[in-house]
Amino acid sequence: MTRIQRKILTMSLMIILIMGAFWTAISYINQKSIYEYNNILERYLLLNHVSTTSGTALAKLSAYISTPSPENQTSYETYRDQLNASKKKLDQLKNQANAIALTDYIYMLDSQVEAMDLTVMMHKLDKRQNSSDAYDEALQISKFIDETTLLLFKKELTNQKQFYESMIEVTNHLRSLGLWILGIVLIISIAFSYWFSKGITRSIYLLTQGAKEVAAGNFDHPIKVSSNDEISFLAKTFDRMRENIKELVAEIKEKAKLEKEIKEYQLLLKESELKRLHNQINPHFLFNTLNTLSKKAYLEDAFETSDLISTVANLLRYNLRSVDENVTIRDELDLVKEYLTILKARFSSRISYRFEIEEACLETQVPAFFLQPIVENAFKYGVEPFEEGGSIVVRVFSQDNEIHVSVQDEGCGMADEVKEQVLSDLKADSIKSKSTGIGLRNVVQRLRLFTNKHDVMEIRAAGNKGTVVSIKFPAIERSEDHEAAHYRR
């Protein structure tokens, strides 16, 4: 069975349900009327039964007094008990209209029962006169009960007159309701036919428009058909095909972008290598010469000069590495220490630095020459411009399954436009490192290619003074556990 067939069957079922609801309403009203009629009849019968039982109880009492036999006593007590039982039933008939009269009526029954009981008691005590007086009182109360019964009949008839009128009004309303329901069913049938035909034609129209958009190369407009039939299924299938084509096109563009970035990175590496080669004259010769000078200074007891020349030689030897080579954080920190040692020799007390390192993070693989340009930038803008100098703090720690490397200075902070230039995707490269030829912008590009993430560097203010440059690397699992140890320098 197709969904279109289901819609037609649903319409038929709706009409049947409406007619069934109308028939149910009529049946309910009829049952309610019958119930009310039965209730009224029971009220009349109960009042008549109470009045009759009152008179019969007095007759049985008279027979018992005249002939006090066990049979007459049992007969009298039976009707007396019926009279007492009727009081509970009468109490259930109370409503706002007859509450006072019915309460007095019940009190009369109580008074008659008490008078009859007094008659029996005086008779047993052989007090004839008192027994006769009590019987006369019970007889008088019984007459009052008969009169009150007639009064309650009249009130019931008066109260039920409104009910009869309401029932006649309900019957007239049912006749009008039947005509209205017939008209509503007709209108619903016409509306459903219109809605059904419009739903099919509109669904086909939307599907056609979607096909035109896809044919024109526009994959951003979804095809939405709100109907729940075979046409909707066809539209959803076509929309999934549109999404697949869109994802395929996006994937092709992403691959093209990635290939472009790889080419740019290769050009960047070549440019960096050329700059390094251009700025260096036979670095191996210089390295060997520095080693010779270091040994000569050591032999001449110039130990500080020897250490400084050895530091420069180590820095030069590290620079002989290939730019695209991966190293450990330990290697990068050794390079930074050599660099800061040279700066310390140049600027003495104007510069101070401190390392806060977790030993367990030192074997993490990182791209070469990523940390020294950041430290050099911190010195250039956070220490060198100030006469009193400043300090640099290098931190390496693990957090949230990531290795964090940060460099903090006490300078005047980095301007927003410089941050945007360093972290943007533009090719402009205005912030350059003087020693390595690899500026912060190049560091960001190489880190993105290394981590395959765009958000690799964070530059923020360090409280009221200075700048913090932070880099995050994914943590690696290691076979041996290292205890975290911090050391400061």
Q: Per mean pLDDT, which range of 86-100, 291-305, 350-364 is the poorest?
A: 291-305
pLDDT > 50? residue 412: yes
Helices (H), 67-127: 70-91, 99-124
325-338 pLDDT tens trace: 788 999 999 989 88
Helices (H), 216-229: none
Q: What pLDDT does 66 receive?
A: 82
As a three-state string, the secondary structure of 371-414 is: CHHHHHHHHHHHCCCCCCCEEEEEEEEEECCEEEEEEEECCCCC
Using pLDDT thresholds of 50, 70 and 90, give the confidence band for residue 227.
low
* Element housing 365 (H / E): strand 365-367
The residue type of 284 is H
pLDDT > 90? residue 486: no
Can you tell me the distance from the alpha carbon of 81 to that of 84, in angstroms, rounded to the nearest whole number? Answer: 5
Using pLDDT thresholds of 50, 70 and 90, give the confidence band for residue 436.
very low
The count of residues in the chain is 489
Helices (H), 280-328: 283-299, 303-319
Q: Per mean pLDDT, which range of 48-52, 218-222, 385-389, 396-400 is the poorest?
A: 218-222
103-114 pLDDT tens trace: 877 888 888 888
Can you tell me the distance from the alpha carbon of 198 to that of 190, in angstroms, rounded to the nearest whole number? Answer: 12
Percent of the chain with pLDDT over 70: 74
Q: Per mean pLDDT, which range of 52-66, 143-157, 339-353 is the poorest?
A: 143-157
**Which residues are CB-contacts of 268 (< 8 A; sequence separation ≥ 6)?**
442, 445, 446
Whole-number average pLDDT of the chain? 76
Q: What pLDDT does 147 receive?
A: 81
Q: In what order do the strands lie in the sheet with 402-409?
A: 351-357, 390-399, 402-409, 467-474, 457-461
Q: Which of 233, 235, 200 is nearest to 221 (CA)?
A: 235
Residue that has been written with the tokens 């549109």 in this structure: 242
The residue type of 379 is F
Q: Confirm if 300 and 280 have CB atoms less than 8 A apart.
A: no
**Coil, helix or strand for 357?**
strand
**Which residues are CB-contacts of 437 (< 8 A; sequence separation ≥ 6)?**
272, 275, 276, 279
Using pLDDT thresholds of 50, 70 and 90, give the confidence band for residue 358.
very high
Q: Is pLDDT larger for residue 370 or for residue 208?
A: 370
Can you tell me the distance from the alpha carbon of 347 to that of 339, in angstroms, rounded to the nearest whole number? Answer: 12
pLDDT > 50? residue 478: no
Using pLDDT thresholds of 50, 70 and 90, give the confidence band for residue 408.
very high
If you average pLDDT over residues 187-206, what whole number do you get? 73
Can you tell me the distance from the alpha carbon of 208 to that of 443, in angstroms, rounded to the nearest whole number? Answer: 51
This prediction's pTM: 0.41
Q: What pLDDT does 471 receive?
A: 93
Can you tell me the distance from the alpha carbon of 447 to that of 449, in angstroms, rounded to the nearest whole number? Answer: 5
If you average pLDDT over residues 451-479, what whole number do you get? 81
pLDDT > 50? residue 252: yes
Q: Confirm if 309 and 338 have CB atoms less than 8 A apart.
A: no
**Coil, helix or strand for 416?**
helix
* 175: its two tokens: 């006749």
Can you tell me the distance from the alpha carbon of 336 to that of 369, in angstroms, rounded to the nearest whole number? Answer: 10
Using pLDDT thresholds of 50, 70 and 90, give the confidence band for residue 284.
very low
pLDDT > 90? residue 213: no
If you average pLDDT over residues 435-456, what whole number do you get? 76
Can you tell me the distance from the alpha carbon of 218 to that of 245, in angstroms, rounded to the nearest whole number? Answer: 10
Q: What pLDDT does 285 receive?
A: 44
If you average pLDDT over residues 454-460, what whole number do you get? 88
Using pLDDT thresholds of 50, 70 and 90, give the confidence band for residue 280.
very low
Q: Confirm if 447 and 370 have CB atoms less than 8 A apart.
A: yes
pLDDT > 70? residue 56: yes
If you average pLDDT over residues 434-458, what whole number do you get? 75
Q: Which of 53, 35, 43, 45 is nearest to 155 (CA)?
A: 43
Q: What pLDDT does 353 receive?
A: 92
pLDDT > 80? residue 291: no
pLDDT > 80? residue 339: yes
What is the radius of gyration, based on Cα positions, of the chain? 54
pLDDT > 60? residue 200: yes
The 8-class DSSP code of residue 424 comes to S
If you average pLDDT over residues 49-62, what whole number do you get? 83
* Element housing 331 (H / E): helix 329-347
